[in-house]
Amino acid sequence: MRNVQIPFELFYQLLQYHLMENHNLENSIKQGLEKKLDALVMHELYGKSKSAATLEEREKARQEYLDRRGVEEEFRW
């Protein structure tokens, strides 16, 4: 099982939401968690693009990574 680090502010918002029942923070918590999830996916894709078992898997991960980053086709090699 892997550990995931989150910003202190997001952690504090989660504490307020769950322990103090402050439901006004729901949108900012969702945004923070989505941002973290996107970063995790990008990290995973980058790692696959460098170390996947086959050349086809590496290229597929590289293309998906570049698509998610918003790199246009003419800037790719």
Reported as a single tens digit per residue, the pLDDT across 4-25 is 999 999 999 999 999 999 999 9
Question: Residues 24-67: pLDDT tens digits?
Answer: 999 999 999 999 999 999 999 999 999 999 999 999 999 999 99
Predicted local distance difference test score (pLDDT) of residue 20: 96
Domains held by the chain: number: 1
Query: Can you tell me the distance from the alpha carbon of 27 to that of 40, in angstroms, rounded to the nearest whole number?
Result: 20
**Position 60 in a domain:** yes
Predicted local distance difference test score (pLDDT) of residue 73: 84
Query: Can you tell me the distance from the alpha carbon of 57 to that of 50, in angstroms, rounded to the nearest whole number?
Result: 10
**Position 71 in a domain:** yes
**Which residue range is the domain that position 44 belongs to?**
8-75
Closest to 69 measured CA to CA, from 34, 43, 31? 43
Contact 48, 58 (CB under 8 A): yes
Query: Can you tell me the distance from the alpha carbon of 40 to that of 35, in angstroms, rounded to the nearest whole number?
Result: 9
Q: Give the pLDDT band (50/70/90) at residue 2.
A: confident
69 to 36, 53, 55: CA distances (angstroms):
15, 23, 21
**Position 54 in a domain:** yes
Predicted local distance difference test score (pLDDT) of residue 74: 84
